[in-house]
Structure 1
């Protein structure tokens, strides 16, 4: 047996149970077996809020993949009689507890965090913490062999762990496939469609989408009030646009995440004021931290047509039921990656989706 081809074990933490079950089913299909690869795990909380994890099955000599969604705010526990929702810090602590419970008995440990922990705090401005780098280094010290994430806010964060395998995967193909299959009126023509970057930081992503789709790209940049801080950031004064005229065109805004959605809604309004036909949004992660009411209103008013996002982080039932929202299932794609890595095969072809996007569009 190839030394890289160890028995597969998947530990799906509570936050990633649904995705983990779907991945397990796909791997069973790929391997033509009914045997589950999921390893049972108990995430235990004491009444004072302390926690531990307990693995009830052997992991010795196995190739272990730990799945955790640090953005899943639906996970709760009881502390001193009060119900608490788990935040990213508590989810990350459960990853560390899981690695500690394995106690070096596994042949290899891979942590799959689709939403990278603290990825928004990826660089230091002034006297402040650099949380994402610290977290990655902590996982390295604990003995994790590889970290897999999706569409990280700033890929340069991997420089914090230069000797650790770090794979940043983009869901571009699956999002593009969902878009072109669902939007029948969408025309992939330079005169009919334009890709929009909502800020300078997302420009590389927008250029990739535009290149894959064969259309042009436009840019909004944010003028901020740097004399004021609101909710930890400088408020946006105005969105300025650079690019081709959008009148009569469909536009696709692409970004890595939607938090409150304020920027996306402002840009969508600006685009409709410039007589854009349909405004679509593609984001890897969607949080909607301030609720869905504004988005419902913008959809009803015809300002946004559809938002596409992956199921790599928690999607509430309310969001899933929204007419303007389309969830892009990433479980089969994730299963293929785990399956190939477990067999010691390269995943290079999954890191650049340009070829398969072109094949899809040519059909």
Structure 2
């Protein structure tokens, strides 16, 4: 059976869903109660979109409740893994945040932990019994809506390995590399570069895992235009979009993402449901 802790996120559909009630006490503590009869259920998959530490708390409470009901095998699907970008120590005094979250998840003893398009190889390396869903099906869906001579753009060095895997999967798509510099103390982005002399008016699709504020993609877009790019498109697996779509919508002809982090209703954005990706 399936326990969808975010009722607006049902990547395996609504069949066999477990009923529950959820609320937060006045003191700020989350609480959950499983309403379905699980007396003959041996295996449950929990799905959740983690957007706060309280969401982790709800997941842990649900896990404990299910174990108290003697469910033997628990799987968890967390498509956006929290703090995945904080996967190395850059500045003294900061935590290795992804390990903190991974340790919490590992302590639950899940039969499997499924994540979608992780930021780097660090997250699946830290998680026990980890299953990774790549971004191939998502990008397949995107490129079908674009010109066949669209260029794939890697925004920085961190995205290079994954975008070449995507290109090998798609076949016949050329990759153009980009780069940037980031001040690790302030987070300020500078020095955007595109390693091509002339893009000859060809459309460009930037592919990456996360869009938060969008500064990386806006900075790179300016350089692409200087190199004679055609229409610009953006495909990110996890759409946070903390600064909205005002600037991104002016820059990109269309933005593509999934519902791994939140549901989006915006004219500039096309959202692919993970339910469609998991079918493949």
Question: TM > 0.5 between the two?
Answer: yes
Aligned residue for 1:64?
44
Q: CA deviation at 1:144?
A: 1.6
- Describe the shift of the 1:251–1:311 C-alpha distance in structure 2 as closer, same or farther (beyond 3 A): same
Aligned residue for 1:263?
216
- Describe the shift of the 1:225–1:67 C-alpha distance in structure 2 as closer, same or farther (beyond 3 A): closer
Pairing partner for 1:273 from 226, 230, 234: 226
**Distance (whole Å) between structure 2 residues aligned to residue 62 and residue 133 of structure 1:** 30
Q: CA deviation at 1:252?
A: 1.1
**Distance (whole Å) between structure 1 residues aligned to residue 189 and residue 271 of structure 2:** 29
Aligned residue for 2:167?
210
- Aligned: 1:196 with 2:153: yes
- Aligned: 1:43 with 2:22: yes
- Describe the shift of the 1:245–1:262 C-alpha distance in structure 2 as closer, same or farther (beyond 3 A): same
**Distance (whole Å) between structure 1 residues aligned to residue 211 and residue 97 of structure 2:** 20
Pairing partner for 2:258 from 287, 297, 310: 310
The question of whether the paired residues in 2 share the 8 Å contact of 1:148 and 1:167 is answered with yes
- Aligned: 1:18 with 2:20: no
- Describe the shift of the 1:97–1:244 C-alpha distance in structure 2 as closer, same or farther (beyond 3 A): farther
Q: Secondary structure at the match of 2:13?
A: helix
**Distance (whole Å) between structure 2 residues aligned to residue 66 and residue 193 of structure 1:** 38
Q: Secondary structure at the match of 1:17?
A: coil
The alignment yields a C-alpha RMSD, in angstroms, of 2.0
The question of whether the paired residues in 2 share the 8 Å contact of 1:121 and 1:132 is answered with yes
The C-alpha deviation readout for 1:316-363, integer Å capped at 9, x for no partner, is 3xxx231x31111221333x4xxxxxxxxxxxxx6xxxxxxxxxxxxx
- Aligned: 1:124 with 2:69: no
**Distance (whole Å) between structure 2 residues aligned to residue 267 and residue 102 of structure 1:** 47
**Distance (whole Å) between structure 2 residues aligned to residue 12 and residue 239 of structure 1:** 41
Length-normalised TM-score, structure 2: 0.90
Pairing partner for 2:206 from 243, 248, 253: 253
**Distance (whole Å) between structure 2 residues aligned to residue 142 and residue 284 of structure 1:** 26
Aligned residue for 1:32?
none
Alignment of 1:277-356 (within 5 A): 277-296=230-249, 298=250, 303-316=251-264, 320-322=265-267, 324-334=268-278, 336=279
- Aligned: 1:115 with 2:80: yes
Q: CA deviation at 1:244?
A: 5.8
Q: Secondary structure at the match of 2:2?
A: strand
The C-alpha deviation readout for 1:85-134, integer Å capped at 9, x for no partner, is xxx21111111111111125112111100101221222223332122222
Length-normalised TM-score, structure 1: 0.71
Q: Structure 2 unaligned segments of length 5 or more: list them.
A: none
Alignment of 1:217-232 (within 5 A): 217-225=175-183, 229-230=185-186
Count of residue pairs the alignment pairs up:
276
**Distance (whole Å) between structure 2 residues aligned to residue 244 and residue 195 of structure 1:** 15
Q: Secondary structure at the match of 1:321?
A: coil
> Which one has a larger percent helix, Structure 1 or Structure 2?
1
**Distance (whole Å) between structure 2 residues aligned to residue 193 and residue 39 of structure 1:** 44
Q: Structure 1 unaligned segments of length 5 or more: list them.
A: 1-8, 26-35, 72-87, 337-349, 351-363
Aligned residue for 1:136?
102
**Distance (whole Å) between structure 2 residues aligned to residue 332 and residue 124 of structure 1:** 36
After TM superposition, the structure 1 stretch with the greater mean CA deviation from structure 2, 286-295 or 125-134, is 125-134
Q: CA deviation at 1:176?
A: 1.9
The C-alpha deviation readout for 1:258-287, integer Å capped at 9, x for no partner, is 100011111112111221111111110111
Q: Which has the higher Rg, Structure 1 or Structure 2?
A: 1
The question of whether the paired residues in 1 share the 8 Å contact of 2:137 and 2:277 is answered with no
Q: Secondary structure at the match of 1:144?
A: coil
Q: CA deviation at 1:135?
A: 2.0
